[in-house]
């Protein structure tokens, strides 16, 4: 049996956030770099981290992309014990 998608997200996010706060998109990129077969969306990363008490939303960061004409805000995550 496989692991739940949220547990994969939180395990990788815990490793990534050891070095400091990261955005949801940075955590998504780390999951993609591991070669995980079923990639979650950035929104699924945010929902999985909201449900786990080990993580807390530090702030919202405004980012811009080439695909969107306007900037948008992305959650900045950190570990709860730091």
Q: Give, for all 82 residues of the chain, the pLDDT tens digit.
A: 456 888 989 999 999 999 999 999 899 999 999 988 888 888 899 999 999 999 999 988 887 766 666 777 888 999 988 7
Q: Outline where the chain has alpha helix (H).
A: 5-16, 24-33, 42-51
Task: Please name every residue paired with 22 in a beta bridge, in sequence order, or none if there are none.
Answer: 77
Is 28:45 a contact under the CB 8 Å cutoff? yes
Is 27:45 a contact under the CB 8 Å cutoff? yes
Instruction: Give the architecture (CATH level 2) of 5-79.
Output: Orthogonal Bundle (1.10)
Domain boundaries, the chain: 5-79
Q: Is the pTM higher than 0.75?
A: yes
Is 10:30 a contact under the CB 8 Å cutoff? no
Angle at 54 between CA 79 and CA 37, to 5 degrees: 95
């Amino acid at each position: 049996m496989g692991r739940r998608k949220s547990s994969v997200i939180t395990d990788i996010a815990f490793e990534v956030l050891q070095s400091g706060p990261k955005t949801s998109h940075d955590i998504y990129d780390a999951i993609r770099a591991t070669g995980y077969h079923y990639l979650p969306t950035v929104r699924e990363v945010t929902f999985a981290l909201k449900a786990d008490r080990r993580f807390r939303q530090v702030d919202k960061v405004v980012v811009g992309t080439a695909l969107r004409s306007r900037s948008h805000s992305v959650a900045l995550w950190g570990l709860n014990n730091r």
